[in-house]
Structure 1
């Protein structure tokens, strides 16, 4: 971990809540709102979130699975998202969410008319804005956690520290 955390402090709570409270607390609220207030389907939401987690390399984010009403995506979904171009288990909207997340993160200048024609054919404008804000949140905060080494401080049982 890059940040020195005082003995006995939780690294995530310390960095996000105490170090820069004016920014960290607001960032945390935005991050939480993405989960609490999303109207996107679980598979589209998770496809975009997981693709960003894979690109960022955040261990915690890759291990996390969003749950809604007791449901999570199936085993193997993360692997399907990593191979979104050819994965047969992804429907068009889910595949497009993974593609958008990847292109948003690594080639946003390449989002051309052909892409937007497909995107607006599957998602309405409100959904596109919501997905864009969600992807922005995951890109920024997952990358922050990975770069500072916080992702190893909050790893779920599926990944070793």
Structure 2
């Protein structure tokens, strides 16, 4: 980690909450709202989230699994996300979510009409906006945690 922490401080709480509270606390509220208010089905949500985690290289985010009503994606889902082009385990929505996340993060200038036609065949405009905001959150904050080295200092609840 590149940030010097005072003895006994939780890395995430200190960096996000104490170092820059005017920015970190609202940012964390946005980050949490993506999980609390999303209406995107869990497989598509997790495909997009995990693809960004893989691209960012965030250890914490790659280990995390979103839970809704006691349900999480199955074991091996992360491998399917990494192989979103060829996996037989994804429906069109889930595959598109992984593709959108990857292109959003690495090639956003080339989201062409053909891509948007496919997206609009499977997602409403509101879902596209929601997914876009979610991907933006994961890209920004997962990358921030990775760049600052917080991703290896985080502890998942229950670990």
**RMSD between superposed Cα atoms in Å:** 1.2
CA distance in 2, matches of 1:75, 1:118: 28
Provide runs of 4+ in structure 1 moved above 3 Å: none
Segments of structure 1 that go 5 or more residues without pairing to the other structure are: none
2:21 alignment partner in structure 1: 21
Q: List per-residue Cα deviations over 1:8-44 (Å, max 9, x = no partner).
A: 1101000000000000000000000000000010000
CA distance in 2, matches of 1:155, 1:107: 31
1:3-152 equivalent positions in 2, closer than 5 A = 3-152=3-152
Post-superposition offset of 1:138 = 0.1
CA distance in 1, matches of 2:54, 2:26: 25
Post-superposition offset of 1:155 = 4.5
CA distance in 2, matches of 1:34, 1:55: 19
TM normalised by structure 1 equals: 0.96
For these two proteins, the number of residue pairs brought into alignment is 158
CA distance in 1, matches of 2:6, 2:116: 47
TM normalised by structure 2 equals: 0.97
Post-superposition offset of 1:142 = 0.1
Segments of structure 2 that go 5 or more residues without pairing to the other structure are: none
CA distance in 2, matches of 1:21, 1:75: 37
